Amino acid sequence: MASVVEIDRYNLRPLSVSLLGERPRLPVSQNALIISRRFSKVDPEIVLNCYKPAFHVLRGSCILAKRNAVTAAAARVEADRFDDGHKVEIDKGHNLPAIEDNAYKLQNKASQLRKRIGFGFAIGFGCGGVVLAGGWVFTVALATTVFVGSREYFELVRSHGITAGMTPPPRYVSRVCSVICALMPIFTLYLGQIDIPVTFSAFVVAIALLLQRGNPRFAQLSSAIFGLFYCGYLPCFWVKLRCVLAAPALNTALGAAWPVLLGGQAHWTVGLVATLISISSIIAADTYAFMGGKAFGRTPLTSISPKKTWEGTLWGLGGCVTTTVILSKIFSWPTSSLSAIAFGVLNFLGSVFGDLIESMIKRDAGVKDSGSLIPGHGGILDRVDSYIFTGALAYSFVKIILPLYGI
């Protein structure tokens, strides 16, 4: 069945000199335009005064004007057959979406959700084992994550959205910064501090920028130094929290049940317990914020991340604090419920701030995800953005705030 364009009957006018000087108008009925979905091109066939074939010349008619009008009408209909890249059927002026397209979208969303959940559980179990192992296992895993995350950061800096307003650092400087960021956690574990690695790293990056060809820009220096701070310096506090704080925890029952081959009771230090509580509370905050936002989200939190709402944020805060208090009772640390609540609030603030910072970078770069390394999740920075600032806050709470109150 060919695509057909029908034109209603209209009165023919005798051919005259005055008729040749004006453009006849075709009264095309809206109900007479029928376009078949089976063909992407319109092949108009005119049914004029019950005569076929198309463009049959009748006495006293201006066929050229009629043919132009038919072609224009068919072109207008053809242009309306596509909506956002999907074929639609035009029937009396109403667009009917293709059922196959909707089914494909639903199937694709379900597949993405299954993939996201599967990789989420795999990442969770892997991170749990790394945290329990501690030492060099934890540090090397963190250094690898930092290296990949720093590469994603400098790719975002070099994206079109950010480079439109600044000059990014040269690629060799970006590579040097990524290597330095990966070495920072290792030096932190080896030296027990982070001040010397950070100072040396900033000096090396500044020298590399000054020795480049052409005129160095302040924007290059600022983006590189912020990359060292964001991707290298802040993650090192997780090493200090997990590996440097070696004071034994108070839960002797849990330590006694731990296998001797895996370290026994001495394995459960304050650093391990604080790291487990902090990571678990961040996971709870993200989960409760997502569910609360989906169910009750009405008020936008900030224009940086339009999908975040105040309702979801409050749900995330409640889930984070509740998880922290429950785990503090299980691990018997911290001993005070008030200090556990304060620890939960601090973890939540760090996770929200880190999430918004990464959203701001991606929004300025004009991208949705920082990368595509993890199927269904995006890049490394998309998964660890909530943890970047939280490690520094958690370490400061354990090392500085709790000793002030004798806890």
Q: Please compute the mean of the pLDDT values over residues 341-358 and round it to a whole number.
A: 96
Please tell me the distance from the alpha carbon of residue 273 to that of residue 161, in angstroms, as a whole number.
Answer: 42
Cα Rg, the chain, nearest whole Å: 33
63 close to 55: Cβ distance less than 8 angstroms = yes
Between 120 and 299, the higher pLDDT residue = 299
pLDDT score of 59 more than 50: no
pLDDT score of 86 more than 60: no
State the average pLDDT for the chain: 78
Q: Please compute the mean of the pLDDT values over residues 5-30 and round it to a whole number.
A: 46
pLDDT at position 3: 45
Q: Please compute the mean of the pLDDT values over residues 56-80 and round it to a whole number.
A: 53
Written as six digits, the tokens of 2 are 């060919």
pLDDT digits (tens, 9 = 90+) for 175-196: 999 999 999 999 999 888 888 8
Between 346 and 306, the higher pLDDT residue = 346
358 close to 304: Cβ distance less than 8 angstroms = no
133 close to 183: Cβ distance less than 8 angstroms = no
pLDDT tier, 72 (very low <50, low <70, confident <90, very high otherwise): low
pLDDT at position 216: 81
pLDDT tier, 37 (very low <50, low <70, confident <90, very high otherwise): very low
- Sorted by where each begins, the domain ranges of the chain are 4-97, 106-404
pLDDT at position 74: 56
pLDDT at position 373: 80
Q: Which helix (H) or strand (E) holds 328?
A: helix 310-331
Q: For the chain, percent helix, then strand, then coil, each to nearest 5?
A: 65, 5, 30
Q: Please compute the mean of the pLDDT values over residues 280-306 and round it to a whole number.
A: 91
Q: Among 85-99, 223-237, 344-358, name the one with the lowest average pLDDT.
A: 85-99
Q: Among 4-8, 352-356, 380-384, name the one with the lowest average pLDDT.
A: 4-8
pLDDT tier, 404 (very low <50, low <70, confident <90, very high otherwise): confident
How many residues does the structure list for the chain? 407
pLDDT digits (tens, 9 = 90+) for 195-248: 888 888 889 888 888 887 778 888 888 999 999 999 999 999 999 999 988 788
pLDDT at position 274: 95
CA-closest candidate to residue 97, choices 79, 85, 111, 108: 85
Angle at 260 (CA atoms; ends 259, 265), nearest 5 degrees: 85
pLDDT score of 32 more than 70: no
Q: Is the dihedral of CA 397, 399, 404, 407 positive or negative?
A: positive
Q: Which residues of 352-390 are buried (b: 16+ CB within 10 A; e: fewer)?
A: bbbbbebbebbebbebeebbebbeebbbbbbbbbbbbbb
pLDDT at position 89: 43
Please tell me the distance from the alpha carbon of residue 100 to that of residue 111, in angstroms, as a whole number.
Answer: 16
pLDDT at position 273: 93
Q: Among 45-49, 94-98, 158-162, name the one with the lowest average pLDDT.
A: 45-49
Q: Among 15-19, 128-132, 198-202, 316-320, name the one with the lowest average pLDDT.
A: 15-19
pLDDT score of 1 more than 50: no
pLDDT at position 90: 40
The pair phi, psi for residue 299, each rounded to 5°, is: -100, 115
Environment class of 231 (CB within 10 Å of its CB; exposed 0-12, middle 13-18, buried 19+)? buried
Provide the 8-state DSSP code for 398.
Answer: I
pLDDT digits (tens, 9 = 90+) for 149-176: 999 999 999 887 787 777 788 888 999 9
pTM for the predicted model, two decimal places: 0.71
pLDDT at position 141: 96
Residue with tokens 């108070």: 250
pLDDT tier, 403 (very low <50, low <70, confident <90, very high otherwise): confident
pLDDT digits (tens, 9 = 90+) for 356-397: 999 999 988 888 888 878 776 688 999 899 999 999 999 999
pLDDT digits (tens, 9 = 90+) for 115-133: 667 766 777 788 989 999 9
Q: Please compute the mean of the pLDDT values over residues 292-313 and round it to a whole number.
A: 91
Please tell me the distance from the alpha carbon of residue 144 to that of residue 344, in angstroms, as a whole number.
Answer: 28
User: Which residues have CB under 8 Å from 151's CB, separation 6+?
Assistant: 174, 178
366 close to 161: Cβ distance less than 8 angstroms = yes
Q: Which residues of 312-327 are buried (b: 16+ CB within 10 A; e: fewer)?
A: bbebbbbbbbebbbbb
Written as six digits, the tokens of 88 are 């639609």
pLDDT score of 113 more than 60: yes
